Amino acid sequence: MEKFESRNPADLKDIIGTFDIAGPAEVEEACQKAKSAFKIWKKTPAPLRAGIIHNFGKLLEKNKEALSKIVTREMGKPLREARGDVQEAIDTCNFFVSEGRRLYGMTIPSEMPNKELYTYRRPVGVFACITAGNFPVAVPAWYFVPALVCGNTCVWKPSHDTPLTSHYFAELLKKAGLPEGVFNVVFGLGANSTGAHLINMVEKGLIDKFGFTGSTEVGQKIGEVCGRNLQNPCLELGGKNPLVVMEDADLELAATGALWAGFGTAGQRCTSMGNLILHKQIQEKFLKIFLKKVSEMKIGDPMQEEITYGPMISEVFLKTHLKNLAALIEPHHELLTEPNGQITSQKKWKHFVGDPDKGVYAFPSIVANVKPTDKIYATETFGPLFNVMICKNLDEALDLANGTGYGLSSAIYTNTPQYIYQWKEEITAGMTSINNSTTGAEAHLPFGGNGKSGNGSRQSGVWVLDQFTKWQSVNWDLSGKLQLAQIDTGYVEPDLEYRI
């Protein structure tokens, strides 16, 4: 069987593991297993299904530190962020455990006598899912926890960047008590590999629902295949998230939020800031505060608590970042940071923690003089690289914020209620923050984007239940005769001649 390696991006000599690449036969077998397990799992009472999710949450809690360390070792986010990643999965379990005792339908009055109407949430069937490596615990939990509670069975192709984390995610689900065949994992790469084979299973009729978290390009392909098969996938894609600082903002607070939004996880979050939009009255003052904070950041070994960001997720992400710097920066742009590119012991970051030559680290890069017609304005860069743009007023800020075609997250810093009101009404992103960063989610608030960021599907909270259940309407006629709605209904005519 073909294999792939997982390496520590903070120390490329540290090989985390070698994993089998599942071919078409293995992928089909996993789907068939899920299909046959569905017959039993859908009949398991929902509170019992949720009981297994309760166990999973407890196991995640018990193993939080160990799993967080694996996340950091495998994809390089700082340990405190990895702990947040795992905690989000625990919170998701806690939320959905009690949903297993709800999953409410309705009883609805009928227009006919001796007849009852009901609605039920029914599971969709086999749920196939492909995820990215930047949130290797939280994002799968957002999908699988509600999918399983709702009675679906699953096939998962986790990111090739985080196979060991994914292995333990699946092991914890198994130890929580999930029956054989309910949750199936196929490891491998994306294009022309396991990911592509899994998408093919939609064409083969083995999958009833698809979930994808990753790049817009791949999401579009999955959307095409699902659309052709009359399925509505859950697509959670890229972003070019704006953060606006108005003239009345608390600049210290805004600078702290922008630093986290731009450089948290080395800019490798779907919700990372892509365009920093500054009101012209405060641009100079803000940049002075902000660039000082940037210059003081600690970059380096992600196991160390004090660092702002660690390495890129893998060598591939560093290469893409270097390509972006070369391809997207134009002669009229001004780089507010020097140097740029890869951090090495020859080309050093002043506050580096550890040995840069062991891993794949990048300098922070901030590009100014960006115009809306420039490619970089509307291109997701997915690294420690973002633009600075200037606006005269809120209308202009909104045009810049909404003009990229993406619509995932957004943020504004202001204390003027009229600005906040207009911003909430006119920003087209699925999520927005007022006086907080573009990044950050809670397990019970809908998460998702519009435009190039997704197809309007939402994860988290009660809203996600509509992804993993389909509504069934039931008419129960106890009258013993054929009663026809609208035709036999005993409507009463009003006396239309009556006037007051």
Name the residues that contact ligand NAD, by CB under 6 A: 130-135, 139, 157, 159-160, 189-191, 195-196, 199, 213-215, 218, 236-239, 270, 380, 382, 408, 449
The distance of closest approach from Cβ of residue 354 to ligand NAD in the complex, given in angstroms and rounded to an integer, is: 25
Of 222 and 391, CB closest to ligand NAD: 222
Of 192 and 486, CB closest to ligand NAD: 192
The distance of closest approach from Cβ of residue 113 to ligand NAD in the complex, given in angstroms and rounded to an integer, is: 50
Of 99 and 380, CB closest to ligand NAD: 380
The distance of closest approach from Cβ of residue 139 to ligand NAD in the complex, given in angstroms and rounded to an integer, is: 6
| CA–CA separation, 271 and 409 (whole Å) | 6
The distance of closest approach from Cβ of residue 217 to ligand NAD in the complex, given in angstroms and rounded to an integer, is: 7
The distance of closest approach from Cβ of residue 3 to ligand NAD in the complex, given in angstroms and rounded to an integer, is: 15
Q: At what angle do helices 79-99 and 64-75 cross, to 10 degrees?
A: 130
Of 86 and 282, CB closest to ligand NAD: 86
Of 151 and 188, CB closest to ligand NAD: 188
Of 103 and 313, CB closest to ligand NAD: 313
The distance of closest approach from Cβ of residue 143 to ligand NAD in the complex, given in angstroms and rounded to an integer, is: 10
In this structure, what token pair is assigned to residue 129?
A: 């899912």
The distance of closest approach from Cβ of residue 215 to ligand NAD in the complex, given in angstroms and rounded to an integer, is: 3
Of 310 and 449, CB closest to ligand NAD: 449
Of 1 and 191, CB closest to ligand NAD: 191
Of 199 and 259, CB closest to ligand NAD: 199
The distance of closest approach from Cβ of residue 480 to ligand NAD in the complex, given in angstroms and rounded to an integer, is: 53
Of 290 and 406, CB closest to ligand NAD: 406
Quote the Cα angle for 153-154-160, to 5°: 170
The distance of closest approach from Cβ of residue 130 to ligand NAD in the complex, given in angstroms and rounded to an integer, is: 5
Do 420 and 253 touch, CB atoms closer than 8 A?
Answer: no
Q: For residue 333, what are the CA distances in angstroms to 329, 365, 370, 371, 440?
A: 6, 12, 6, 9, 30
The distance of closest approach from Cβ of residue 448 to ligand NAD in the complex, given in angstroms and rounded to an integer, is: 7
